[in-house]
Structure 1
Amino acid sequence: MKLYISRFILGLMILSIQFISAQNLSKNQFKVKGNCEMCQSRIEAAAKKAGAKTAVYSIDLQTLTLETDNKISTDEILKKIADAGHDNEKFKSPDHVYEGLPGCCHYERDLNPSPAEAHENHVKKENEFYVKGNCGSCKARIEKAAKTAGADSAEWSAEKQTVTLNFDPSKTSSDKVLKAIADSGHDNEKYKTSDAVYRNLPACCLYDRDIPFGEANPKVHFEEETKHEDHHDQEAAGMNDHHEQHEKHIEGVTVTGSKAATALSKKEAGLVFNIDKKELLKAACCNLSESFETNATVDVSFSNAVTGTKQLKMLGLDQKYTSLTKELLPEIRGLASAYGLNFIPGRWIESIQLTKGGSTVTNGYESITGQINTELLKNAKEPETSLNIFADFNGRAEANITSVSSINEKWSQTFLLHGNGTFGDTDMNDDTFLDRPKGTQINAAYLLNYNDLEKSGLGSHFGINFIRDERTAGQIGFDKKLPQDKQNAYGVGIDISRFQVWNKTGYVFKGKPYQSLGWMNQYVYHQQDSFFGLRNYAGKQHTYYSNLIFESIIGNTNHKYKAGASFLYDGYEETYLKNDMKRNEMVPGIFAEYTLTGLKYTLVAGARADFHNLAGTQFTPRVNFKYDFTPQTILRLSAGRGFRTANVFAENQQYFASGRSVQILQNGGNIYGLRPEIAWNYGASLQQEFRLFGRKSSVVADFFRTDFQDQVLVDLDRSPQQLTFYNLEGKSFANSFQTQWDFTPFRNFDVRLAYKYYDVQADYIDGRREVPFMARHRGFVNFAYATNKNNKGGFWSFDTTLNWVGKQRLPDTSTNPAEFQLPVYSNSYAVLNAQISRNFNKKIRAYLGGENLTSYYQKNAIVDFRNPFGNYFDGGMVYAPVMKANFYVGLDVTF
C-alpha cells in the first residue's frame, strides 16, 4: 500500500513540476527569412539548440513561433538563427554564411539592416563607395589606386560593386581617393574615368558604364539578380504567387530586382523550368502552340499541310507522351489532342511550368516524357484590365481582353475573352491548297478565387471555360455550304465545341503550416464534327476528374509525404466513315509520395496504383533525386514509369487528309483491339552556374532515355496508301541529349544557346527503323536585348530566335510513281523569328515581328496535290514550314 502511495505522490510531484514549468514558458512570434523545407528544418533546429522549448516555422507566413523559459532570451535564439544563415527581425546573417546555404535556400534578403546592426552599418557606410569593376584585375587596380592616394586599406567587392576605405582624414580624403580610382580607369559615384583610359583597360575589365554623374552622393541605379525562386506551388490550396518585379528605395539608392523570364528551379528535385509571361511576350504567342518559340526544350512543328495544326515534341517523342495540364488539371488529351493547343490563348497565360522526365505521381499516370502545366491569369496587386490586338499580313487577326480584380480582401475574379479569325487565302507554294485554314474562334473564361490561408487556412479556385472553333481548309474555292458529294474541290471542315468547369479547394491546418488537404474536380465536354474530303470523323468526349491530396510530415519537415486518391472517367463516342466506336474508361487510383530533404540533397519517391477497367491494374513508381555539390553545381537523377491509352483516330488526324486507308492490326486489347502504351523514362542532368563578364551564367546538360514496354506504333512505311496501327513486338526507345548555355555578355542583353541530339528507333513489322519526322540534330540560338527605361517607364526590346533542324527520315514512298516519291531524308533547314517591341510606358506596348524570316518552306508539302481524291494524295508528309516569311503587328493597352 505504501508503494502505491509513494508512486502516486511521485507522479503528482512530476505533474506539478511540469505544470509549474509550463506556467513559466512564454510564447513569442518573430519574422524570420526562409525559402523551403530545408530552411524550415535548419531554423527550427537552431532555435531548439539555442534553448527554445518548442519552435515552429511557417514558410508561407515567414514567421517563427517560439516557446521559451526565463533562462534564455529570445535575442540569443534569434542571434543563433542568424548565425545559421537566416535573417530575422533583429539580426542579419553574415554574408558568407548566407552564400554557403544550398541554392534552394537563397531567400530574398531585405536591404534594410537589422536593429542590432544599424549603428555598425551606418559607420561602415561613411567609408563605403560605389565603384564600377568587372573582375580580379579590376579589384587589384582599384585597391592599388586607393592605397597610392593615401588610404590605409581598401577592399573592393565585385558583387556589391563597392569599395570600403580606411584612411586618416588628416592625410587624405575620400574625394582624393575616388579621383585616383577614376584616373586608374574605374567610374565611381563621384568621378568618371576618361574615355581614353577606359578604352585602354584589358577586355575582361570593360564593365558597363551606366552611372549618372553630377553632384556628389548622387542617386545610383543598378540591377540585382534575385536569388530565390518566386514561384511557390501551394498545390493543395490551388494558389500560385507570382511577383514580376519589385523596387526598394534606401538612402537615395534604387535597387530594381527582376525575375528571369525563364528560370530553372534550383529547389525542385526534378528538372523544372518556370516560364514567366515576360518570356511569352518575346514572340507572337497567340496560343499555347506558339508559347515555346523561344524555348530550347520543346520542339514545335507543323503536323499537316492541309489543316495547318502545330504539335509539340519533347525528349524526341510526340506530344501525346507529355502530360499537358491547365491549373494542374488534365487538359490537352483524348479528342483535344490534335487542336487543343489552339484553345489556350497566349495572353491568358500567367506562367508555364515545364518538367522534363518523370513528374510527380500526384498529377496522374499519363506523363512519360514530362509535364507542361499552364497557369491562367489570376494574380494582380491592383485591378488590371488589358486589351491586346494582333494582326498579320496574311489575313489573321485576334483580340484579347483580360481583367483581374479584387472583390474584397478575400475574393478576386478574372474575366478572359479571346476571339480570332483567319480570313485571307494564303497559298505561298502555289499548290492551290490553303497553307492554313480559314475560320473563327470565340473563347471565354471566368475565374473566381478565394484566399483566406492566413486566418482560416482555406483557399479555393473556381473556373469555367467555353470554346467555339470553326475552321475550313483545303483547296482555294472550296465552298463549305455545298454538300461534299457536289464539290469538285477538296475541302476540310473542323467544328469544335468545348465546355469545362473546375474547382480546386485547399485547407491548411491551423498551427500546422506543413499539413494541408486539397481536392480538385473537373468536368469537360468536347465535341468535334469534321470531314476531310470524302471522309467524316466525329467524336464526343465526357471527362470527369477528381483528385484528393493530403500532405503532412513525419516527425519534422525533413520527412514530408503526400497521399491521396483520384478518379478519372472518360466517355468516348467516335464515328469514322461508317464505323461507330464507343467506350467508357473508368480509373480509380491511389498514390503516395515521400520527400526526404537533407542539407545538400532532396529525394522524392512516389508510387501509384490505378485500376483501369479496360487496361487492368497499373503500378506507376517514380523517383527524383537532387544533390547540391555546391549552391552552383547541382546533379539530378530521375526514373519512372507511365502508361496511357492510345486514341488512334483523334491523335492522328493529320493523316486523314490523304489517300491512306486506316488499318488496325488488333491483338485482343480492349481499346480499338490494342493494348495500352507503357514506358519507362530515365534521366540525369547537371546544372552549373558561374560568373562570366561579371554576371550570372549557367550551363545545363541532360540526358534522358525512354524505353517502351508496350507501344501503339503508327506505321507510315508499310504502304504509302495505308495508315497502320499495331502494338509493339520488340523494342522501341528514344535517347535525348541536350545542353543549354545561358549568359549575359553585357547589361540587358541575354543569350541562350542550345544543342539537341535525338536517337529514336522502333521495331516495326519489317524491322527496326528510325521514327520518321524526327531530326537527330537540332540547334537553337536566342538573343534578347532591352534598353534602359526612361522616366516614363518606356523602353525598347529586341528578340530574335534561330532554330536549326537537321535532316529527318521520311516515310517510305518508294512504291509510288517516281513523281510522287519523297527522298529517304529531308534537307536540313533554319528558321529565323524576330520581334521589336516598344513600351511607351507601363500602359501601352506596340510590337512588330516576323516569322520564318529565312523564308524556307517545304515545296512538296502535299504529294499529288493536283489529284486530291486519288490514291497518291497525301497532306501529312510535313517536315518543315509550309509558309514563307510572315509579318505581324500588335498592340497591348493596360487600363
Structure 2
Amino acid sequence: MKTLLRSILIITLFLTQTIAAQTITESTFKVKGECGMCKDRIETTAKNAGATSANWNAATQTLSVKYDPSTVTGDTLLKKIADVGHDNEKYSAPDTVYKNLPGCCLYERTPSLIKSPEQPVNNLTALPTNTFFVKGNCGSCKARIEKAAKEAGASGANWNSETQTVVLEFDPAKTSSDIILQKIAEAGHDNEKFLAKDAVYNALPGCCLYDRELAFGVKSDLVHDDEQQPQKDFTQHKDHIDHNIDGVLITKREEATSLSRKSAGLTFNIGQKELLKAACCNLSESFETNATVDVSFSNAVTGTKQLKMLGLDQKYTSLTRELLPSIRGLASPYGLNLIPGRWIGGIQLTKGGSTVTNGYESITGQINTEFLKFQGTPETAINFFADANGRFETNITSTNALTEHWSQTVLLHGNATVAKMDTNDDGFLDQPTGNQINAAYLLNYNDLEHTGLGTHFGISFVKDERNGGQKDFDRHTDQSQQTLYGIGIDLEKFDIWNKTGYVFKGKPYQSIGWMNQYSHHEQDSFFGNRNYLGKQSTFYSNLIFESILGNTNHKYKTGASFLFDRFDEVYLQDNYNRTETVPGLFLEYTLTGENYTLVAGARADFHNLAGTQFTPRVNFKYDFTPRTILRLSAGRGFRTANVFAENQQYFASNRQIEILGSSGEIYDLKPETAWNYGASLQQEFNLFNRKATLVADFFRTDFQNQVLTDLDVSPQKIVFYNLNGKSFANSFQTQLDFSPAKNLDLRVAYKFYDVQADYMDGRRNIPFMAKNRGFFNASYSTQPTEGKAFWSFDTTLQYVGKQDLPNLSTNPSEFQLARSSDSFVTLNAQISRDFSKNIRIYVGGENLTSFTQDNPIIDAANPFGNYFDGGMVYAPIMPANFYLGMDFKF
C-alpha cells in the first residue's frame, strides 16, 4: 500500500510539472448543433484536432475548448468541426456533409453565424453586424420581438428561438440597433444591451416566460437609458458557463440537481455541486440533501444507513455503478458504505420503472452512480475529514490522460472510527468502531470519431471491518471466554468490469455495446452468539445493439443478457446454498414526436429457479408547453429475496428466525414480483423573476408476490413467508425548487406514503415507515470573483412523522414500545470556504436538533436474555455531531 501511495504521489508531481510547463488557451466559439450525437461529434472532432478539452452546450450553441496554441489554433479547430457537418462562427459545413447527418442532427442553418459560406470573418468572436442576442421562448415571443423591431424602424426582422438571436434589416440613417433593441426590451425581452422591466416581463403570457437565469450581460461601456433598469452584474459561480462574443456575456448557473426535460422517465441528475452540500462520506450520505430518497438512520448494530424510495425498502431499487449491477444480493446491507462519496462524478436517479436494457430487478426505480473520469484537464485531489464522534477519513482521486485516446482514474480511500461512543449510557456502542481500505482503477479509451471504438475498464477492491456491541467487549478475546455481548462484521468485495462500444462508420445512430462484470463478495460476521457467513460470486454480461427504423424518430435497442449468481450462506449451523442462472432477451422502442416521447420495452428472462419471467415497461412524456411536462409510466419487475443479508439489523436480538415456505430452492420462498405505475407533472415558471420548478408525482406499487418480514408474530421471532393477499405502496410527492435571490437556492418538498400488506393476522401498515415527511433545503453562496475566496452555506431540515412500530405487547411492560413513534425534526448544516480553485475548507453539523430515540436497545442490561432487541431503531440514536474537512486540488 505504501508503495502504491508513493507511486501515485510521484506520478502526480510529474504531471503537475508537465501541465505547468504548458501554456493553455481557453476559448469559446459559436457552433451549431441539435442533439447528443452532435455534442459527441463536435467534442470528439475538437479533441482529435488537438484540443485538450472540449464541451459543447446545446442550449447556448457554444463550444468551450482548451488547447495549446503552440500545437493548434482556434481556426484549425473550427475548420475541422465544419468539415464534419457543423456550421460555426468562421466556417460553414459543406452542404453534402450537412445533408448526410442523421435526421436528429439537422439544425437550422438560417441565420448563419458568418457573413458568407466558407469564408472566414476577421474577428472570431464577432456575430454578423445585423445579428443580436434577444431572449424569448415561443412563437408568441417571435411575433412580439419582430413587431417591436419593425415599430422601431427596422424594415425586416427574423428572430430564431434556437439561437436566441434576431437578424435585423434597417437603414442606419433612420434608426439604430440601440433604438431597436431598446424597443424590444420595452416589449418584455432581455437582450444584449437592454433588460426588460420586471413589470413588463411578469405581464407576459406564461408560455413566453423565458429563463432569465441564462442572461446577456453588457460591457461597462454599454450604459442603459435612464428609463431602463440599472445595469446588472451577471457574474456567477466559478462553475458557470461563460461565453464572450463581441461585448456579450452569457452566463448560466450550474444546477446542483436537475430534472431532465428530455428523459421520458422522471430522472434527476445529481452533480458534484449537490454532493458537496453535506459531508457525503459514502453513497448512503449522498442523498441527505435530496428530497426524492429517504435515508434511514444508522443503528448501533451495523452502523449503516439504508435508502427507501416510493415508500419501499432499498432492495426494490436497482442500484448500479456505471450501469452495471452494484449493490444487490449479499452486498445490500453494507454496499452503500463501500462507495466513497468523493469518488462519485454524478448520480442519475429515476423514479418508477427504468429501461428494460438494464435488467429486471428495478421495481421502484434505479440509482446509477458514475465514478470520476478525466474531463480534459489532469487533476489530483486530496480530501481529509474528521468528526466529533471519532471518525476520520482520507480520499485521494487522480484523473489524467495517458495518450490522445487513453485516460485513467486512480481512486483511493481509507476511513477509521476509533471513538467508543455511548451517549445514552446503556453500555452499548452508539456506532461500531473499525476501518475501511478501498481502491479502484479505471482505464478509458475513446476514438469514436476515427475508429468508432470506445472501451472502459475498471477494477476495485474494498476491505471493511466493524466492531460493535457492549462498550467493553474485546474483539481479540474469544467469545467463549467473555460474558459481554459483541458484534463483528468483516467484509471484502472485489469487482472487475469492462464496457466496450462500437459506432458504425457513417451511421452515428447505430452502435453495439457489450458490458461484462465479475464480482465476489464475502462477509464473516457474528452477533453475540450468532454467526453469519456469506459468499456471493456474480458474473453479468449484457449485449446491446441500437439503431433506427427509417429515421431517428424511430429508435430501437435490442440485445441479450446473462446473469450468474452463486450464494453460499451459513446462519448458525444451517447452510443455504443456491446457484441462479438467468439468460434474458430484451427489445425497446423509442418514438419521438414533436412534443412527445414514448419508450416501450419488454424482456423475457429464463430463471433456472424462478421460471420464465416477462417484464414489460413503458414510459411516456408529453410536453404541453416547453415548461409544462406530463410523464406516465408503468412496468413490472421481479427479484429473488435474500432474507438473511437483507435483515441483519434484527440479528442483534433474541429473535429466532423462522421461514414458512415450501416453494423450492430460494429459502423455500417464491420470487418477488410487482407492478409499478406512476404519473408526474413538471411545471416551470418564474417566481421572484427567477426560474422555479414545481414537480408533483404519484406512484403506486402493487405486489403479486412478496416475501414479508413479520415482526409482530412474537417479540421473540422474525418470520418470513410469501404474501397471501394484497401488498401495496402509494407514494405522493410535491417539490418546489426556486431561487428568490441571486445565489440563493431553496427546495421545499412534502411526501405522503401509504404502505400496507396483508400479514397472517390481517392488513397492517409496514413498520418504520412514516406516512408524512417534510423537507427543506437552502443553499447560498457569496458572489465569487475569479481568484478570490467565497463562502457557501447549506442547511437541510427534515420532518419525519409518526411511524408504526412492531408489536411488543407480550413483553413485560418495561420492555414494550408504543405502537407508534413520535414525530421529530432533524437539522443538518454546513459552511464552506473556497480560498481558490484548489483549496476548500468546510465545517458542518448533523442532527443539530439533537433529537434522539429513547432506549433504542430493549433490555440492554441483559443482552443474552429473552427480551433483548437492538433492531427497533426508528430515529437518531446519537445527538448533534460536528465535522471538519479540507479539500486540496493539484
TM-score over 0.5 for the pair: yes
Is structure 2 residue 656 aligned with structure 1 residue 657? no
Is structure 2 residue 234 aligned with structure 1 residue 222? yes
Question: Equivalent residue of 2:357, what SS?
Answer: helix
Partner of 1:33: 33
User: Are the counterparts in 1 of residues 236 and 784 from structure 2 also a CA contact under 8 Å?
Assistant: no
1:341: how far off?
Answer: 0.4
In the TM superposition, 1:446-465 aligns within 5 A as 446-465=441-460
Partner of 1:556: 551
Is structure 2 residue 333 aligned with structure 1 residue 338? yes
| CA separation of 1:398 and 1:179: change in aligned 2, threshold 3 A | same
Which of 717, 721, 729 pairs up with 1:722? 717
Question: Equivalent residue of 1:310, what SS?
Answer: coil
Output the CA distance in 2 between the equivalents of 1:168 and 1:686: 48
1:527: how far off?
Answer: 0.7
Question: Equivalent residue of 1:861, what SS?
Answer: coil
Which of 284, 307, 324 pairs up with 2:279? 284
Partner of 2:209: none
Is structure 2 residue 290 aligned with structure 1 residue 295? yes
Question: Equivalent residue of 2:584, what SS?
Answer: strand
**Structure 1 gap segments, 5+ residues each:** 1-29, 41-59, 67-72, 94-110, 226-242
In the TM superposition, 1:238-253 aligns within 5 A as 245-253=240-248
| CA separation of 1:673 and 1:176: change in aligned 2, threshold 3 A | closer
Partner of 1:12: none
Partner of 1:6: none
| CA separation of 1:297 and 1:163: change in aligned 2, threshold 3 A | same
Partner of 2:499: 504
Which of 868, 871, 877 pairs up with 1:876? 871
Output the CA distance in 1 between the equivalents of 2:549 and 2:133: 50
Partner of 1:228: none
Partner of 2:409: 414
Partner of 2:704: 709
1:552: how far off?
Answer: 1.1
| CA separation of 1:395 and 1:498: change in aligned 2, threshold 3 A | same
Partner of 1:826: 821
Partner of 1:14: none
Is structure 2 residue 840 aligned with structure 1 residue 845? yes
Output the CA distance in 1 between the equivalents of 2:116 and 2:431: 61
Question: Equivalent residue of 1:302, what SS?
Answer: coil
In the TM superposition, 1:566-577 aligns within 5 A as 566-577=561-572
Which of 110, 123, 131 pairs up with 1:91? 110
Equivalent residue letter for 1:34: E
Post-superposition CA distance 1:639-684 (Å, at most 9, x none)? 1111100000000000001111101011323211111101011111
Equivalent residue letter for 2:111: K
Output the CA distance in 2 between the equivalents of 1:177 and 1:502: 59
Output the CA distance in 2 between the equivalents of 1:702 and 1:61: 42
User: Are the counterparts in 2 of residues 311 and 319 from structure 1 also a CA contact under 8 Å?
Assistant: yes
| CA separation of 1:718 and 1:808: change in aligned 2, threshold 3 A | same
Partner of 2:601: 606
- CA RMSD in angstroms comes to 4.3
Output the CA distance in 2 between the equivalents of 1:188 and 1:456: 43
Equivalent residue letter for 2:34: G
Post-superposition CA distance 1:260-316 (Å, at most 9, x none)? 111111111111111111110011000000000111100001263322210000000
Output the CA distance in 1 between the equivalents of 2:809 and 2:626: 56
Post-superposition CA distance 1:172-214 (Å, at most 9, x none)? 99999999999xxx99999999xxxx99999999x99998996
Is structure 2 residue 780 aligned with structure 1 residue 780? no
1:244: how far off?
Answer: 6.5
Output the CA distance in 2 between the equivalents of 1:167 and 1:543: 70
1:246: how far off?
Answer: 3.4
Equivalent residue letter for 1:379: F
Equivalent residue letter for 2:603: R
Equivalent residue letter for 2:806: P
1:492: how far off?
Answer: 0.5
1:453: how far off?
Answer: 0.6
Question: Equivalent residue of 2:888, what SS?
Answer: strand
Equivalent residue letter for 2:442: L
Which of 601, 623, 626 pairs up with 1:628? 623
**Structure 2 gap segments, 5+ residues each:** 1-29, 41-79, 87-92, 205-211, 225-230
| CA separation of 1:85 and 1:505: change in aligned 2, threshold 3 A | closer
Partner of 1:525: 520
User: Are the counterparts in 2 of residues 189 and 217 from structure 1 also a CA contact under 8 Å?
Assistant: no
Identity %: 64
Q: How many residues align?
A: 788
User: Are the counterparts in 1 of residues 127 and 245 from structure 2 also a CA contact under 8 Å?
Assistant: no
Output the CA distance in 2 between the equivalents of 1:114 and 1:875: 77
Partner of 1:260: 255
1:787: how far off?
Answer: 1.4
Output the CA distance in 1 between the equivalents of 2:294 and 2:714: 28
Equivalent residue letter for 2:273: K
| CA separation of 1:248 and 1:867: change in aligned 2, threshold 3 A | same
Output the CA distance in 2 between the equivalents of 1:781 and 1:485: 50
Partner of 1:101: none
Output the CA distance in 1 between the equivalents of 2:623 and 2:220: 46
| CA separation of 1:255 and 1:793: change in aligned 2, threshold 3 A | farther
| CA separation of 1:790 and 1:549: change in aligned 2, threshold 3 A | same
Output the CA distance in 2 between the equivalents of 1:733 and 1:802: 29
Give the TM-score of the pair, scaled to structure 1: 0.80
Partner of 2:299: 304
Output the CA distance in 2 between the equivalents of 1:92 and 1:269: 31
Which of 425, 428, 431 pairs up with 1:433? 428
User: Are the counterparts in 1 of residues 669 and 721 from structure 2 also a CA contact under 8 Å?
Assistant: yes
Equivalent residue letter for 1:885: A
| CA separation of 1:378 and 1:768: change in aligned 2, threshold 3 A | same
Q: Greater CA radius of gyration, 1 or 2?
A: 1
User: Are the counterparts in 2 of residues 674 and 726 from structure 1 also a CA contact under 8 Å?
Assistant: yes
Question: Equivalent residue of 1:465, what SS?
Answer: strand
Equivalent residue letter for 2:843: L
Post-superposition CA distance 1:451-485 (Å, at most 9, x none)? 01111011000000010100101111111001112
| CA separation of 1:361 and 1:788: change in aligned 2, threshold 3 A | same
Equivalent residue letter for 1:91: T
Question: Equivalent residue of 1:289, what SS?
Answer: helix
Equivalent residue letter for 2:604: A
1:254: how far off?
Answer: 3.5
User: Are the counterparts in 2 of residues 716 and 811 from structure 1 also a CA contact under 8 Å?
Assistant: yes
Partner of 1:16: none
